[in-house]
């Protein structure tokens, strides 16, 4: 079973003493977020989610805010997967290039 903390580890809003509560507005609803994460970061994340939901609401005639939220989550997940794929490609390219440089250096040192 997945816990809330596993789903949103950086913004987990459990009720612990050392956490700060920040109220954010997403798609017209105010949410209290309790976290020890930087408040500016939390605001940026909330604004991002709000923009995604408003973008979907503007482009698709959906009456349910739940459906808007699900479509926004799918779009955000797609962006995340694309970014991960690009990062993996870049890491593989860097590893290949490092291997080529290492091999070239080894050849020069053997001469």
Average pLDDT over residues 46-53: 98
Token readout for 66 is 């739940």
Q: Where are the domains of the chain?
A: 4-110
Which has the higher per-residue pLDDT, 63 or 13? 63
What are the two backbone dihedrals, phi and then psi, of residue 14, each rounded to the nearest 5 degrees? -75, 165
Torsion of CA 75, 28, 22, 53, to 10 degrees: 10
d(CA 105, CA 90): 22
Residue 63's pLDDT band, with cuts at 50, 70 and 90, is confident
* pLDDT tens digits, one per residue of 72-101: 999 999 999 999 999 999 999 999 999 999
Neighbours of 22 (CB within 10 A): 19
pLDDT value of residue 19 = 84
């Amino acid at each position: 079973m997945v816990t809330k903390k596993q789903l949103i580890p950086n913004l987990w809003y459990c009720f612990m003493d050392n956490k700060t509560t920040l109220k954010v507005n997403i798609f017209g609803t105010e949410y209290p977020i309790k976290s020890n994460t930087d408040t500016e970061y939390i605001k940026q994340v909330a604004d991002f989610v709000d923009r995604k939901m408003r973008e979907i609401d503007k482009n698709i005639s959906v009456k349910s805010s739940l459906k808007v939220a699900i479509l926004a989550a799918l779009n955000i997940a797609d962006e995340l997967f694309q970014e991960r794929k690009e990062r993996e490609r870049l890491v593989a390219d860097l590893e290949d290039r490092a291997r080529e440089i290492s091999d070239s250096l080894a050849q020069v040192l053997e001469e």
